[in-house]
Amino acid sequence: MTIREAQDQVDVWIKTYGVRYFSELTNMAILTEEVGELARVMARKYGDQSFKKNESADHLGDEMADVLWVLICLANQTGINLTEAFTRNMEKKTLRDGDRHLNNEKLS
């Protein structure tokens, strides 16, 4: 699936099952919440925290997908083509950081 196809699929789902998009501000708050949920799983799986009795690392992919879902919602409702934005971002990073990390002795 391409990013454009994902944006289209989310848009169809919202219009079919979601009635309408939440406001941009609400979706920004939801995105923050979802990133927090992802961070909680990461901290427990890869960090120093332990899982609570009812928690599991099995939800890592689902939490990442939740973040992606809300990000796609925000892109759709603000008119952002994520394929184009991502392409521009990769070009920017390559120009800016093309040799930065290769020359970083901390990464050797």
Claim: this prediction has a pTM higher than 0.95: no
| Contact criterion met (CB below 8 Å) for 11 and 76 | yes
Helix (H) or strand (E) holding 5: helix 3-13
pLDDT of the residue at 96: 94
Amino acid at 86: F
pLDDT of the residue at 3: 98
Mean pLDDT, the chain, rounded, equals 95
pLDDT of the residue at 55: 81
pLDDT of the residue at 20: 97
pLDDT of the residue at 18: 96
What DSSP line would sit under 24-40, residue for residue? HHHHHHHHHHHHHHHHH
| Structural domains of the chain ordered from first start | 3-107 (1.10.287.1080)
Helix/strand/coil (H/E/C) assignment for every residue in 26-93: HHHHHHHHHHHHHHHHHHHHCCCCCCCCCCCHHHHHHHHHHHHHHHHHHHHHHCCCHHHHHHHHHHHH
Residue ranges of the chain with per-residue pLDDT less than 70 = none
